[in-house]
Amino acid sequence: MATRALDIIDTAPRFTQADADALNARFAGVDSAAMLRALFAENAIGRVGVVSSFGTESAVLLHLVALADPSIPVIFVDTLKMFQETLDYRDTLIERLGLTQSSTVTPDPVVLAAKDESGLRWSYDPDGCCAIRKVEPLARAKQGLDSWISGRKAFQSVTRQNLPRFEVEDGRLKINPLGDWTKDDLEAYFERFDLPRHPLEAQGFLSVGCQPCTSPVTPGEDARAGRWRGWDKTECGIHGVAIPLPDGELPPGYEPAF
């Protein structure tokens, strides 16, 4: 009998906090490009993949990876609620940067049928929506990886302050090459290498996620203020905890607000 994706047991080798500490010490003060070249050349981090949202700042990390080794796998989670502009931008960057191993993972259709048949879970349970449309697919995509590379930056929000370059998450090494970069650093990099911009950025979308839960920001607002606006929520669950509602569809008496 075939094994369903949700039943796969993760057998990836385990990194320890001591491993992360050693790498943080070794690469302290080393620029991100040199760090990635060394890690890939030495195979020091095992089977590695880059997880990219193809958002407004994603081109920088993907360019750094492409310069070091364009064959490193790039994983994109398509929640089936993405902006078309993001899907187009993904294709543009992959071609422009010469990335040779890109893959897209989508939510389990069985789970969607059971927990979000109407497609409206985002409107009353954004944590639960993220859990089934983003967190579970990414967990599935990371099966077999020893480590993964994230595009998080410490300046993005208070929940990301004091972000180390290397950390351990469920025994898998998590690498944040841009953790100590500033917004000015990113802007300078975009300009230096003439990297293409996400098409929605010019419309005020400074941080882009799923279409229903992303809005433009006004001058002076935090770049991520447009994510889950009106909810006490700052992360999708990939970098934090997203707790879904119990199984079932719309709550009793629920009516969409549109």
Reported as a single tens digit per residue, the pLDDT across 139-152 is: 999 988 999 999 98
pLDDT score at 14:
81
**Percent of the chain clearing pLDDT 90 (strictly above):** 68
Tokens of 189: 């990099």
Q: What is the pLDDT of residue 238?
A: 61
Residue 20: per-residue pLDDT? 95
Q: Which pLDDT does position 240 carry in this prediction? A: 52
CB-based contacts of 196: which residues, under 8 Å, 6+ apart? 59, 89, 92, 93, 96
Q: Where residue 28 falls among pLDDT bands split at 50, 70, 90?
A: very high
Average pLDDT over residues 225-237: 72
Least confidently predicted of 115-129, 212-226, 239-253: 239-253
Q: What are 166-210's pLDDT values in tens digits?
A: 999 888 999 999 998 988 999 999 999 999 999 999 999 988 999
Average of per-residue pLDDT values in the chain: 85
Check residue 163 and give its pLDDT. Answer: 85
- Helix (H), strand (E) at residue 48: strand 48-51
CATH number, domain 45-213: 3.40.50.620
102-105 and 147-149 beta bridge pairing: unpaired
Pick the catalytic residue from 129, 130, 210, 236.
Answer: 236
29, 150, 152, 177, 180 from 165: Cα distances, Å:
11, 10, 10, 6, 8
Structural domain spans, the chain: 45-213
DSSP state of 172: E
Model confidence at 230, pLDDT cuts 50, 70, 90, reads confident
* Cα–Cα distance, 109 to 101 (Å, whole number): 24
236 counts as catalytic:
yes
pTM (two decimals): 0.84
Tell whether the model's pLDDT for residue 258 goes beyond 50. no
Q: What is the pLDDT of residue 184?
A: 93
- Mean of pLDDT values over 77-90: 97
